[in-house]
Amino acid sequence: MTFLSDKALERLRSSEAADFSGTRYKVREFIARGGMGVVYAAEDEKLSRRVALKVLDTPDANGELTGRLMREARILAQLEHPGIVPVHDVGVLPGGRVFYSMKFVEGLRLDRYIVQLDSLPQRLRLFLRVCDAVAFAHARGVLHRDLKPANIMVGSFGEVLVMDWGLAKILREPSLSGDETLLTFGQKANSESDSTPSTVITGHGTVMGTPGYMSPEQARGETEKIDARSDIFSLGAVLKFIAIGGAQGKSAALARPLLAICAKATAESPNERYAEVSDLAADVSLYLDGMPVSAYAENFLERFKRFYKRHEVAILLIAAYLVMRVLVLLLFRR
């Protein structure tokens, strides 16, 4: 038997490079490793545009993994929303590996982008756009199940895109038959320097999602209990991450109503969480507008402070006017 040197082993291991010969795509560079496969930046030679290609790790014709990747592509194809990365094409490479092409998003992952944003209102508005995309998916009966900063991209024009729907679960979709649960294999969501916790391996009745972002029912592997409120838990964790300005931020600096929103979204029991993503988004919008939020019962002093903060200019003008009036009255009395 041939003895293979270490160098030969290395060559053979990297020979898994996807073979795109005979397709319309020319691979430019490796981007990252996703749950089920590798993502490359490529050029669509027919349309002369840059695309991202997600390719299954191994040839698995008609296999389980192929089914999962295809279903992920189909889910994405049905979720036409500006906040969800669009799929262009699916196919099989000469080596038998299945792939799909999608929009190439130029930008930064949320966890890297957020540290550049100093303004809390700006960060919260960005979060509201994430909520829009997730609410849209929920309206179409699709749960993401792996929402985390590393799975959210912010494009160069500020567009927000929710990525990696490999763990998505279809709640109702007659055209997508079979096992309702889409599962990705793999321990890392991204092979590049991803400092966020990685996606946990999953299987029927077992744990799926990312520690720190997955709901308690997900962490316990109670797949039958997972619904929109599980995504709301993840969104709550994302909100906290965004509000404190990244992993290095401190939650102590956050206002109580905002902390209460995060706490309600990430409540242990699904029944104590927001029922819909739109409810969570509404509370964040109210907070941004300086209005009372449903998650927090404020006392009189807090109500006054908030009222003052919201109408600071008007209150100061009225106060100044009143002071002037008093001064004028006093002067005329003399």
Partner 1 sequence: MIAAGEYFPLTRLSVLAAARSPDGTERARALEILFSSYWKPVYKYIRLKFSQSPQDAQDLTQGFFAELLERQLLSRFDPAKSRLRTYLRLCADSFALNELKAASRKKRGGEFAHVALDFSAAEDELRAQAIDPASIPSPESLEDFFEKEWIRSLFSAAVEELRGVCEAREKQKAFQLFEAYDLAGEENVSYGEVAARFSLPLTEVNNQLAWARREFRLIASARLRALCGSEEEFAQEAKTLFGVSTR
Nearer to partner 1, 185 or 194 (CB): 185
Q: How many CA atoms lie within 13 A of 84 on its CB side?
A: 27
Nearer to partner 1, 91 or 292 (CB): 91
**Helix residue ranges, H only, 140-276:** 216-219, 228-243, 256-265
Nearer to partner 1, 3 or 157 (CB): 3
Residue type, 278: S
Q: How far apart are CA 241 and CA 238, in angstroms?
A: 5
Q: Say whether 27 sits in a helix, a strand or coil.
A: strand
Q: How far is CA 258 from CA 111, 149, 283, 300, in A?
A: 19, 18, 9, 18
> Closest separation between CB of residue 226 and partner 1, Å?
19
> Closest separation between CB of residue 13 and partner 1, Å?
6
- Long-range contacts of residues 88-95, Cβ cutoff 8 Å, at least 24 apart: 88/44, 88/51, 91/23, 92/61, 93/18, 93/19, 93/20, 93/23, 93/55, 94/19, 94/21, 94/22, 95/18, 95/19, 95/59
> Closest separation between CB of residue 65 and partner 1, Å?
6
Tokens representing 107 are: 């930008």
Active site residues: 146
Length of the chain: 334
> Closest separation between CB of residue 131 and partner 1, Å?
32
> Closest separation between CB of residue 125 and partner 1, Å?
36
Nearer to partner 1, 67 or 249 (CB): 67
> Closest separation between CB of residue 288 and partner 1, Å?
41
Q: How far apart are CA 296 and CA 331, in angstroms?
A: 47
Q: How far apart are CA 110 and CA 49, in angstroms?
A: 24
User: Which stretches of the chain bind partner 1, using CB under 8 A?
Assistant: 1-9, 11-19, 21, 29-30, 33, 36, 38, 40, 57-59, 64-65, 94-96, 185-187, 191, 201, 203
Nearer to partner 1, 34 or 149 (CB): 34
Residue type, 300: F
Nearer to partner 1, 40 or 274 (CB): 40
* 277-288 and 228-243 helices, crossing angle to 10°: 30
> Closest separation between CB of residue 217 and partner 1, Å?
20
Q: Positive or negative CA dihedral for 131, 133, 136, 138?
A: negative
Q: Are 77 and 128 in contact (CB under 8 A)?
A: no
Which positions ≥6 away from 310 have C-beta within 8 Å?
Answer: 289, 290, 291
Nearer to partner 1, 64 or 80 (CB): 64
Q: Say whether 245 sits in a helix, a strand or coil.
A: coil
